[in-house]
Amino acid sequence: MDKLAILIPAYNEEQTIEKVVGDVKAVINDIEGSVIYVYDNNSKDETANFAKKAGAVVRHEYAQGKGAVIRRMFREIDAEAYIMIDADDTYPVEAIPEMYQKVVERNVDMVVGDRLSSTYFEENKRPFHNVGNSLVKGLINSLFKTSISDILTGYRAFSYRFVKTFPVLSKGFEIETEMSIHATEYGMLVENQVIEYRDRPEGSESKLNTYGDGLRVIKTVINLYRGYHPFAFYSIFSLIFFLISMVLFVWRVLVPYSETQTVANFPSLIVSMILLVLSFITFFSGSILDSIQTSNRRNFELNLINTENKND
């Protein structure tokens, strides 16, 4: 088992990968048993060769997408602590020792490299990314009652138990959202660490699609909220069905009946009753799924115990 594993997912980053690996090597020299892993994700340039030349252990993931790369890294590598950093030279490697100490000395499960509290909004030249980061941060912190300062950052440190119990489901850049929510929902210790951010060097292109990846992140948030809080999620639809049913029944059925003593609007009566039934179905569906989720949480705690025993 490595003492510290530096994980660098890379796709077409020949311009910066050699510098990133070299900079990381310089700051982890004092950490005996540390290894730098670069996982090349079907790069069409010399990323893999440059990373190997710089002294990294180069491996390959042929399924496209950052989520696929992280799944491979987490399953293949055993270490006491992990630090994931992007290959685009936008994050300061000087923060690595402090992030590492938080994991090994204070048993923090995930350290989040917080760009948004420092230089991100000044350095980032894509205004819609700024808006998107703020929107996702506010949405997740409101829905999941957490206080993570930067949801979408790719600079994080992890404990062994987080890495070996995190189910990677996302395929693309929404993986960071999934990590953040998973850690907070299962009561893992998460801390923010403010870092300086610098924009990509000239000539280096971002792989993010502002609108496409943004929509995928929002979809991921909704799906995760449905999965982790099914009762609250389905209760919203139950309440909507119930209110529409009651309004339709009173307006189209009860009021005319009080005046004529006859039910004249049978279609409205039928629709209101169907909506009422749907309201009850969604309510009890949420209740059943909530019980299943409670059972899943218990099983997860047992898996944590087994994981910690293996680590020892």
Domain ranges of the chain: 2-228, 230-311
| The residue to which tokens 């730098």 are assigned | 36
Does residue 57 sit in helix, strand or coil? strand
Per-residue confidence (pLDDT) for residue 217, from 0 to 100: 86
- What gap in Å lies between CA 76 and CA 158, rounded to an integer? 15
- What gap in Å lies between CA 280 and CA 216, rounded to an integer? 31
pTM of the model: 0.84
CB contact at 8 A, 151 and 176? yes
Does residue 226 sit in helix, strand or coil? helix
Kindly give the residue spans of alpha helices, DSSP state H, lying in 186-265.
210-228, 230-249, 255-260
Per-residue confidence (pLDDT) for residue 209, from 0 to 100: 67
pLDDT digits (tens, 9 = 90+) for 76-120: 999 999 999 999 999 999 999 999 999 999 999 999 999 998 888
Residue ranges in the chain modelled with pLDDT below 50: none
- What gap in Å lies between CA 218 and CA 96, rounded to an integer? 30
Per-residue confidence (pLDDT) for residue 128, from 0 to 100: 66
What is the CATH topology of the domain spanning 2-228?
Spore Coat Polysaccharide Biosynthesis Protein SpsA; Chain A (3.90.550)
pLDDT digits (tens, 9 = 90+) for 211-238: 777 788 888 899 999 999 999 999 999 9
- What gap in Å lies between CA 82 and CA 156, rounded to an integer? 8
pLDDT digits (tens, 9 = 90+) for 120-132: 888 776 666 677 7
Q: Is 20 left (phi over 0), alpha (psi -120 to 50) or beta?
A: alpha
- What gap in Å lies between CA 218 and CA 198, rounded to an integer? 25
Helix, strand, coil distribution of the chain in percent, nearest 5: 55, 15, 30
Per-residue confidence (pLDDT) for residue 134, from 0 to 100: 84
The chain-wide mean pLDDT, for the chain, equals: 90
> What does the buried/exposed string (b/e) look like for 12-39 if buried means 16 or more CB atoms within 10 Å of the residue's CB?
bbbbbbbbbbebbbebbeebeebebbbb
